[in-house]
Chains A and B, each alone.
Chain A
Amino acid sequence: MPSSFRNFFLLTHFMEDSTTLKQEKENQELVEAGQPWEEMVTASSQDPESGLSEPPEVEQGPEAGPQTRSSPPGIPQSGASTPVDDLTGPGASTPPSPPQEPSTSLSPLALARQDFMAPWQSNKTTSVISEAGTPPSDHLEQPSDKGESTSHQTCQSEGNTFQLSQQTKCHLYGPRDVSYNNSKEKELRFAISQEKDSNSNYDLDQPESGASEMAPNMLEIAIQNAKAYLLKASSKSGLNLYDHLSEMLTKVLDTRPENPVDIIENISQDVKMAHFSKKLDTLQNENEMLPTYEIAEKQKALFLQGNLEGADQELEDEITEHALPNVMESAFYFEQAGVGLGTDETYRIFLALKQLTDTHPIQKCRFWGKILGLEMNYIVAEVEFREGEDEEEVEEEDVPEERDNGDSEADEADEDELPRSFYKAPQAIPKEESRTGANKYVYFVCNEPGRPWVKLPAVTPAQIVIARKIKKFFTGRLDTPIVSYPPFPGNESNYLRAQIARISAGTHVSPLGFYHFGEEEGEEEEEIEGGRDSFEENPDFEGIQVTDLVESLSNWVHHVQHILPQGRCNWFNPIQKSEEEEEEEEEEDEEKEDEKGEEPDYAEQEVGPPLLTPISEDLEILALMLMAAD
């Protein structure tokens, strides 16, 4: 707000040019008293004395400034009314001779007049109300109507214009000195709307600028009024301007920042904020810091648990070694590549993984990654349970099946009335058994290290198929429904699991030769159909040259099974189950007979690249290689 700037500007000017201002004030007061302008000059000569006595106080503390000016605050508002009467006096007689005043005081004078203007109008209004019938009020009313405009008009003009209209304003301001005290109060609020055209004001005021007898005690009264106003408490915040200004200036003088004039508003705001925080200290702090403490507590538990387990670690050394990889070490390597979560967070994740392995019977555990969500993120751990210790949730699968049965029954009941639909929904492709294909690993997620781990349900082929078609953000809450088209069967936990499966299948690679197929006797025939789905670490792996790894992508192979378009890794033939359908289709469509096939194995078999295929065989999307070696 430029007005606020001006206000502060005025204030500082008041501080610096207090003496000159006082001189002007005195001058104006004398004018107000009706004395000719020349007397103002004489009065001004007297003023330096009073002014001199005041500056020491002023310099001590800016707060003293207003005090000295508003010395006797005794007379209430009604006091202002009397000078109003004086305004009717011969104000026109005052010849404008501002040139006598030093030029430096012109601008402060002008500024002071701005202040005069604003309070003057307020005084005018009050006085108008109190003295309705008096002639001066008539004159007053006119300007009071335009008061806002006039005062603002005069206020608005800059230094130069002030000097130009100085003359006119001399007697304009003269009679208004009574309101000078209020002016200081108002100076901080006035001039929001600033308009030109001081001439009208001038004309109106001339008859009003009276030369009333203004004794010095009027000045004191005015000063007291000003101070009383400054001390008036705000109805909103309980503060008062006087205290606020004093605090602000104290702060400035204490801290002595550079260019305080540029940051004075911020200081003001800070002082105000300091008030509030004192009152609501305990409450605010409690509310705001609670979540921080909660998380810290939980993570402290993480740290503690690690220490407590220290004694048992030696006994279970073997198991723990296999179970938990060296997260910090792998994080180090990732960091070299520019991928990472920061040492802090990685360590916490490590501790959380440790907690996971301690609470669940886990054979192998790996930090899979972090998925960002809208409200919260997911930290994902890939886990392989020990043999025979799986925690299966079979109930989920039964429920949808029952629903399907119920629907079919309803259809049959309406058979007589409604046309029976011939549409038979394709049989839901059953999900793969755990430990195979897409469900080879079990995934746990948590929102933050320290929070409890949640096991994600196994993924069904239908979910993967639809997940391929939609693109949605994760919110961070596992039970959020996924609203999409085509409709996703499940909520966010299912979608998350499906995405994890797709990512794993598409991007988990290892150097060629690191894994190799285990030597299993007598199973080769069966494996041809579905492709080999197990592999072992190659103990003879010697590593490949880094340059080879970088240059050619054929040195990297997928070690996770590819997910077929069907949504599974191992082909499941839906036709296999119902022979009747097969016959019907063969009768209806002879053309497609070959496709449907006589043997289930060849019926629309979806073939995916077998395990351990080099990634150079990956399809090119958008004609760009997605796997870039850096």
Chain B
Amino acid sequence: MDAESLLLSLELASGSGQGLSPDRRASLLTSLTLVKRDYRFDRVLFWGRILGLVADYYIAQGLSEDQLAPRKTLYRWRRRPEEMATQTSVVKGRFMGDPSHEYEHTEVQKVNEGEKVFEEEVVVQIKEETRLVSVIDQIDKAVAIVPRGALFKTPFGSINVNRTFEGLSLSEAKKLSSYFHFKEPVELKNKTLLEKADMDPSLDFMDSLEHDIPKGSWSIQMERGNALVVLRSLLWPGLTFYHTPRTKNYGYIYVGTGEKNIDLPFML
């Protein structure tokens, strides 16, 4: 969520039960502003909080002008390395809270030596920092969402915030198709021609939530009697997206353990 509207956003997203204590909130406000100045970001988003056993990580993201450009993520306001670590998906369990903590994972790898192929146990050490990086990345790719119309694409290809976005209407807000994944589209080409004809290229340039697998991995709820729509991801429990219909307010925040809910298909 935007740093400017942090207080209001936290109040709106508090329905999930996880919030911030007043002292943290106050310190966050000031530190987010400082971050924005130091790193010259166009927008700073408070991404959320990953709960660790010993300590928690507070994550912020900075965006440049182009909204879909790769973002820089900071934890505890220290710049984290931009590494794509796919290995970290094998590490399960809670985060410790200490970025230098190392997980040891024993992998059985097939090593080719000469003509023989035998299995060797290799102990792979993964730093928690890298794991944190990849988890944030995964969460962003999977469940970061924006409402339709909040961003628009210029013919030059750059993506900007839509200043005339006035919010979704109530009926639109209840549909999954009015929300898009906040990332490069993957499935746009698979749409039928009929669907493509109805699409507005300046607005519909991202994947919508409708075709997320598994179906039903999003829970849409209206709170405060239709005054607030809250989407919660069931795949990454802890991701809450809120939007006040007919206003410009929207945002998402992740407060959780950083673990993917792989039992999802069984739980539905």
Contacts of A5 in B (CB 8 A): 155
Q: Is A407 an interface residue (CB 8 A)?
A: no
Contacts of A257 in B (CB 8 A): 163-164
B:124-169 near A, CB below 8 Å: 149, 152, 154-155, 160, 162-164, 166, 169
Contact check: which of A370, A471, A622 meets B266 at CB < 8 Å? A471
- Are B53 and A2 in contact, CB atoms less than 8 angstroms apart? no
**Smallest CB–CB gap between B213 and chain A, Å?**
17
Q: Is B114 an interface residue (CB 8 A)?
A: no
Q: Is A265 an interface residue (CB 8 A)?
A: yes
- Interface stretch, picked from B15-23, B72-80, B181-189, is B15-23
Q: Is B54 an interface residue (CB 8 A)?
A: yes
Q: Which DSSP category, helix, strand, loop or mixed, fits chain B's interface?
A: loop
Contact check: which of B11, B216, B226 meets A291 at CB < 8 Å? B226
Q: Is B117 an interface residue (CB 8 A)?
A: no
Contacts of B21 in A (CB 8 A): 335-338
Q: Is B27 an interface residue (CB 8 A)?
A: no
- Are A263 and B15 in contact, CB atoms less than 8 angstroms apart? no
Docked complex Cα distance between A291 and B14 (Å): 21
**Smallest CB–CB gap between B265 and chain A, Å?**
11
Contacts of B152 in A (CB 8 A): 263, 266
- Are A472 and B267 in contact, CB atoms less than 8 angstroms apart? yes
Docked complex Cα distance between A292 and B232 (Å): 21
Q: Is A267 an interface residue (CB 8 A)?
A: yes
- Are A342 and B19 in contact, CB atoms less than 8 angstroms apart? yes
Question: If the complex has contacts A270-B164, A375-B221, A624-B93, are A471 and B154 also in contact, measured as CB distance less than 8 A?
Answer: no
Closest to A376 in B: B221
- Are B93 and A339 in contact, CB atoms less than 8 angstroms apart? no
- Are A266 and B19 in contact, CB atoms less than 8 angstroms apart? no
**Smallest CB–CB gap between A168 and chain B, Å?**
28
> Interface size class for chain B?
35 or more
A:62-106 near B, CB below 8 Å: none
Docked complex Cα distance between A270 and B18 (Å): 37
Docked complex Cα distance between A289 and B267 (Å): 33
Q: Is A341 an interface residue (CB 8 A)?
A: yes
Contacts of B116 in A (CB 8 A): none
Contacts of A554 in B (CB 8 A): none
Contacts of A484 in B (CB 8 A): 266
Question: If the complex has contacts A338-B18, A628-B53, are A291 and B225 also in contact, measured as CB distance less than 8 A?
Answer: yes
- Are A341 and B14 in contact, CB atoms less than 8 angstroms apart? yes
Question: If the complex has contacts A5-B155, A257-B163, A624-B93, are A338 and B20 also in contact, measured as CB distance less than 8 A?
Answer: yes
Q: Is A372 an interface residue (CB 8 A)?
A: yes
Contacts of A266 in B (CB 8 A): 149, 152, 162, 164
A:154-180 near B, CB below 8 Å: none
Q: Is A542 an interface residue (CB 8 A)?
A: no
Closest to B201 in A: A1
Contact check: which of B24, B54, B226, B267 meets A473 at CB < 8 Å? B267
Docked complex Cα distance between A16 and B263 (Å): 62
Contacts of B268 in A (CB 8 A): 472-473
Closest to B255 in A: A338
- Are A342 and B53 in contact, CB atoms less than 8 angstroms apart? no
Contacts of A342 in B (CB 8 A): 11, 14-15, 19
**Smallest CB–CB gap between A252 and chain B, Å?**
11
- Are A262 and B14 in contact, CB atoms less than 8 angstroms apart? no
- Are A370 and B17 in contact, CB atoms less than 8 angstroms apart? yes
> Interface size class for chain A?
35 or more
Q: Is A239 an interface residue (CB 8 A)?
A: no
Docked complex Cα distance between A98 and B113 (Å): 75
- Are B226 and A262 in contact, CB atoms less than 8 angstroms apart? no
Contacts of A622 in B (CB 8 A): 93
- Are B22 and A336 in contact, CB atoms less than 8 angstroms apart? yes
Q: Is B176 an interface residue (CB 8 A)?
A: no
Q: Is B219 an interface residue (CB 8 A)?
A: yes
Closest to B20 in A: A338
Contact check: which of A345, A376, A625 meets B53 at CB < 8 Å? A625
Q: Is A605 an interface residue (CB 8 A)?
A: no
Q: Is A396 an interface residue (CB 8 A)?
A: no
B:65-122 near A, CB below 8 Å: 93-94
Closest to A343 in B: B11
Q: Is B247 an interface residue (CB 8 A)?
A: no
Q: Is B29 an interface residue (CB 8 A)?
A: no
When each residue 265-279 of chain A gets 1 if its CB lies under 8 Å from chain B and 0 otherwise, what string results?
111001000000000
Q: Is A317 an interface residue (CB 8 A)?
A: no
- Are A292 and B226 in contact, CB atoms less than 8 angstroms apart? yes
Docked complex Cα distance between A479 and B242 (Å): 28
Q: Is A294 an interface residue (CB 8 A)?
A: yes
Question: If the complex has contacts A270-B164, A292-B227, A472-B267, are A340 and B201 also in contact, measured as CB distance less than 8 A?
Answer: no
Q: Is B234 an interface residue (CB 8 A)?
A: yes
Question: If the complex has contacts A262-B154, A473-B268, A622-B93, are A291 and B222 also in contact, measured as CB distance less than 8 A?
Answer: yes
Contacts of B170 in A (CB 8 A): 288
**Smallest CB–CB gap between A194 and chain B, Å?**
14
- Are B164 and A267 in contact, CB atoms less than 8 angstroms apart? yes
Docked complex Cα distance between A341 and B221 (Å): 16
- Are A339 and B226 in contact, CB atoms less than 8 angstroms apart? no
Closest to B14 in A: A342
Docked complex Cα distance between A265 and B227 (Å): 28
Q: Is B202 an interface residue (CB 8 A)?
A: yes
Contacts of A319 in B (CB 8 A): none
- Are B164 and A338 in contact, CB atoms less than 8 angstroms apart? no
Docked complex Cα distance between A472 and B234 (Å): 11
Question: If the complex has contacts A1-B201, A263-B163, are A288 and B15 also in contact, measured as CB distance less than 8 A?
Answer: no
Q: Is B224 an interface residue (CB 8 A)?
A: yes
**Residue among A2, A5, A341, A372 with the highest chain B CB neighbour number at 10 A:** A372
A:461-520 near B, CB below 8 Å: 471-473, 484
Docked complex Cα distance between A484 and B266 (Å): 8
- Are A296 and B221 in contact, CB atoms less than 8 angstroms apart? no
- Are B18 and A288 in contact, CB atoms less than 8 angstroms apart? no
B:11-40 near A, CB below 8 Å: 11, 14-24
Question: If the complex has contacts A266-B164, A295-B225, are A338 and B53 also in contact, measured as CB distance less than 8 A?
Answer: no
Contacts of B20 in A (CB 8 A): 338
- Are B226 and A263 in contact, CB atoms less than 8 angstroms apart? no
Contacts of B171 in A (CB 8 A): 288
Docked complex Cα distance between A625 and B22 (Å): 27
- Are A374 and B227 in contact, CB atoms less than 8 angstroms apart? no
Cβ contacts A to B, 15 pairs, < 8 Å: A5-B155, A266-B149, A270-B164, A288-B171, A338-B18, A341-B14, A341-B17, A344-B224, A345-B14, A369-B17, A374-B219, A375-B221, A472-B267, A628-B53, A628-B54
Q: Could you list 19 further interchain pairs (A-B, Cβ under 8 angstroms) beyond the known A338-B20, A339-B19?
A: A1-B202, A265-B202, A266-B152, A266-B162, A266-B164, A292-B226, A293-B225, A295-B226, A335-B19, A336-B21, A338-B19, A341-B14, A341-B17, A342-B11, A342-B19, A374-B219, A376-B221, A471-B267, A472-B266
A residues at B contact (CB < 8 Å)? 1-2, 5, 257, 262-263, 265-267, 270, 288-289, 291-296, 335-345, 369-370, 372-377, 471-473, 484, 622, 624-625, 628
B residues at A contact (CB < 8 Å)? 11, 14-24, 53-54, 93-94, 149, 152, 154-155, 160, 162-164, 166, 169-171, 200-202, 216, 219, 221-222, 224-227, 232, 234, 263, 266-268
Of all A-B residue pairs in the complex, the 7 with the closest CB atoms, nearest first, are A295-B225, A342-B14, A288-B170, A292-B226, A292-B225, A338-B21, A374-B219
